[in-house]
């Protein structure tokens, strides 16, 4: 476990005082801010970019994974996650920003338009009355002993203070937790999952591509074999053999998840370190061109294709995981554990990105539930986490971190914040069963 304290008590102008401050505008942050504001609380959402979406948009992960059960023979999709996830999914569909379900191995996923994802987030947040502060980051926290009372926010306008009765850390990197000096881990004894660089490929003959590739979005053996041979020939640099390609909502376009980003010296990159993050970006853009060249040269339908764009940043799968009141274990996942304090179903496989191909452990015809306590730091008051930095063991996180679940983690964190404010109780004193029941009342399937 690592502790890093940058809590501050400084004389800075107070920008605002609110009931709930949400740090980070990914899936978890959007769900949390919307839910809290719709229930009449004053809410500010801070986001470092000029749009929401986090890994789904800035990292262009491009899919809403974790909606559907897995089966040995996936004939039709069976959705098991609803709540705020379903609200966002339905609105994307209404706007034409989401594909029909596509086969992904033994389950299904859907591909979204990242521009429409941003606009859908804006719609929910503004309709709920959330005050959004884009282009703003947290640089410190305000504390009264072990109680968080707000944050120091920084933008091009300078530094200021935002005071909040409750803080939801939806940064994905446990940014508030780390700055408060609370404990966290990095993966498996410091070893975290590889980041990646997604890209979109335009001007594809989709009929020719689909006829050769097949229905499954995971590469067939002939493609993996061809990638390996091309890499070993020395004419291409293609470190990952098993790749994923998804048709998008746009004509003649594919979204490609192919790269595997490690240091040029072969070391694992930790993108919390800006030097490692920079190297991931540089290596990622180079690999995008290599995989695009391979596809143009070897895959029918791609001969005249071109790279439309990449993610704004490398796609991040894992950084800090908090030390929580409870920890989602690897055994919880593989055993499909259900629990009375569960706040989210997860049917997604353990999808571990380490080495030259992803490792998949499927949860067939089943799901597990994440305990409420995995969102609550073991120490401190007025703070809860939402998103991929929940307390989880390494392999468990490789299942629990995906987008459909992150929406529901935000829904759960906001629900707990509402209970906490209404009843003057700390997050650690709230029963997961209470949170679960209120989420069910707002449409979550639990």
Helix (H, G, I), strand (E, B), or coil: what is residue 340? coil
Nearest to 375 by CA among 391, 395, 388: 391
**Cα separation values, 95 from 98, 122, 135, Å:** 8, 13, 26
CA distances from 308 to 199, 203, 405 (A): 7, 9, 29
Q: Using CA atoms, how far apart are residues 213 and 259, in angstroms rounded to an integer?
A: 18
Q: Are residues 183 and 322 in the same domain?
A: yes
Tell me: do 59 and 185 sit in the same domain. Answer: yes
Residue 61 shares a structural domain with residue 179: yes
Q: Can you say how many angstroms the Cα of residue 221 is from the centroid of all Cα atoms in its chain?
A: 28
CA–CA separation, 24 and 440 (whole Å): 25
Average pLDDT over residues 123-129: 98
* Residues 332 and 379 reside in one and the same domain: yes
Which domain-ending residue is among 267, 294, 310? 310
Alpha helices in 180-329 (DSSP H): 206-213, 221-233, 274-298
> With bands split at pLDDT 50, 70 and 90, how would you rate the model's confidence at 24?
very high
Of 36-50, 186-200, 301-315, 387-401, the one with minimum mean pLDDT is 186-200
Question: Are both 137 and 214 inside the same structural domain?
Answer: no
65: in domain: yes
In a domain, 395, yes or no: yes
2 located within any domain: no
Structure tokens at 354: 């380490």
Q: What's the pLDDT at 263? A: 87
Give the mean model confidence (pLDDT) for residues 334-347. Answer: 97
So what's the pLDDT on residue 359?
A: 78
Q: In this predicted structure, what is the pLDDT of residue 4?
A: 44
Q: Which residue has the higher pLDDT, 1 or 149?
A: 149
Q: Would you say residue 234 lies in a domain?
A: yes
CATH of residue 368: 3.50.50.60
Report yes or no on 267 lying in a domain: yes
- The residue with greater pLDDT, 85 or 353, is 85
Confidence of residue 356 (pLDDT cuts 50, 70, 90): low
Domain count, the chain: 2
Of 258, 278, 310, which residue is a domain's last? 310
Q: What percent of the chain has pLDDT over 90?
A: 88
pLDDT-based confidence at residue 268 (cuts at 50, 70, 90):
confident
- 208 and 288 fall within a common domain: yes
Whole domain around residue 203: which residue ranges? 199-310
Say whether 120 sits in a helix, a strand or coil.
Answer: helix
- Predicted confidence at residue 281, as pLDDT, reads 95
Q: Label residue 2 by pLDDT band (50, 70, 90).
A: very low
Does 288 share its domain with 431? no
Contact 151, 142 (CB under 8 A): yes
- Please check whether residues 306 and 323 belong to one and the same domain: no
User: Do the beta carbons of residue 428 and residue 50 sit within 8 Å?
Assistant: no
Question: Band of the pLDDT at 258, cuts 50, 70, 90?
Answer: very high
Whether 1 is in a domain gets the answer: no
This prediction's pTM: 0.95
C-beta pairs of 187-192 under 8 Å, 24+ apart in sequence: 187/318, 187/321, 187/394, 187/397, 188/394, 190/270, 191/268, 191/354, 191/394, 192/268, 192/270, 192/317, 192/318, 192/319
Q: Tell whether the model's pLDDT for residue 9 goes beyond 70.
A: no
Say what percent of the chain tops pLDDT 70: 96
Q: For residues 121 and 46, state if they share a domain.
A: yes
Quick one: average pLDDT of 345-363?
82
Regarding whether 425 and 326 lie in a shared domain, the answer is yes
Is 5 contained in some domain? no
The CA-to-CA distance between both ends of the chain, in Å, stands at 32
Cβ–Cβ contacts within 10 Å for residue 94, how many? 11
Q: Are 118 and 168 within one domain?
A: yes
From CA 174, how far away is CA 23, in angstroms rounded? 10
CA distance 348 to 361: 9
Residues 206, 184: one domain?
A: no
- Could you tell me if residue 7 is inside a domain? no
pLDDT tier, 1 (very low <50, low <70, confident <90, very high otherwise): very low
Domain closes at, from 251, 279, 310: 310
């Amino acid at each position: 476990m690592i502790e890093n304290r940058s809590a501050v008590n400084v004389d800075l102008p107070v920008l605002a005082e609110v009931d709930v401050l949400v740090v980070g505008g990914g899936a978890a942050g959007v769900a949390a801010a919307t839910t809290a504001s719709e229930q009449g609380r004053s809410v500010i959402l801070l986001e470092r970019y000029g749009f929401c979406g986090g890994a789904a948009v800035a990292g262009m992960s491009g899919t809403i994974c974790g909606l559907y059960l897995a089966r040995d023979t996936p004939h039709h999709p069976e959705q098991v996650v609803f709540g705020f996830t379903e609200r966002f999914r339905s609105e994307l569909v209404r706007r034409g920003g989401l594909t029909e379900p596509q086969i992904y191995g033994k389950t299904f996923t859907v591909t979204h338009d990242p521009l429409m994802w941003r606009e859908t987030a804006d719609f929910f947040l503004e309709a709920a009355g959330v005050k959004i502060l884009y282009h703003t980051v947290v640089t410190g926290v305000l504390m009264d002993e072990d109680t968080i009372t707000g944050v120091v926010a920084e933008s091009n306008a300078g530094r200021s203070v935002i005071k909040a009765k409750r803080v939801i850390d939806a940064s994905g990197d446990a940014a508030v937790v780390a700055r408060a000096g609370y404990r966290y881990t990095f993966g498996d004894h410091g070893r975290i999952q590889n980041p990646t660089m997604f890209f979109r490929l335009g001007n594809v003959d989709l009929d020719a591509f689909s006829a050769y590739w097949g229905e499954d979005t995971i590469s067939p053996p002939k493609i993996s074999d061809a990638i390996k041979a091309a890499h070993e020939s020395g004419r291409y640099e293609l470190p990952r053999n098993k790749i994923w390609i998804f048709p998008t909502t746009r004509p003649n376009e594919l979204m490609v998840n192919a790269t595997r980003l490690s240091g040029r010296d072969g070391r694992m990159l930790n993108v919390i370190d800006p030097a490692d993050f920079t190297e991931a970006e540089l290596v990622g853009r180079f690999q995008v061109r290599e995989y695009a060249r391979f596809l143009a040269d070897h895959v029918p339908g791609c001969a005249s294709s071109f790279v439309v764009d990449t993610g704004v940043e490398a796609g991040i799968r894992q950084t800090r995981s908090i030390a929580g009141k409870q920890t989602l274990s690897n055994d919880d996942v593989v055993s499909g554990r259900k629990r009375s304090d569960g706040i989210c179903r997860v049917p997604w496989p353990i999808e571990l990105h380490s080495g030259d191909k992803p490792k998949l452990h499927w949860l067939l015809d089943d799901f597990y539930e994440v305990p409420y306590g995995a969102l609550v730091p073991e120490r401190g008051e007025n703070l809860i986490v939402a998103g991929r930095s929940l307390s989880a063991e390494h392999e468990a996180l490789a299942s629990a971190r995906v987008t459909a679940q992150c929406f529901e983690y935000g829904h759960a964190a906001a629900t707990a914040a509402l209970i906490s404010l209404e009843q003057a109780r700390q997050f650690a004193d709230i029963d997961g069963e209470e949170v679960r029941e209120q989420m069910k009342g707002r449409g979550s399937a639990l």
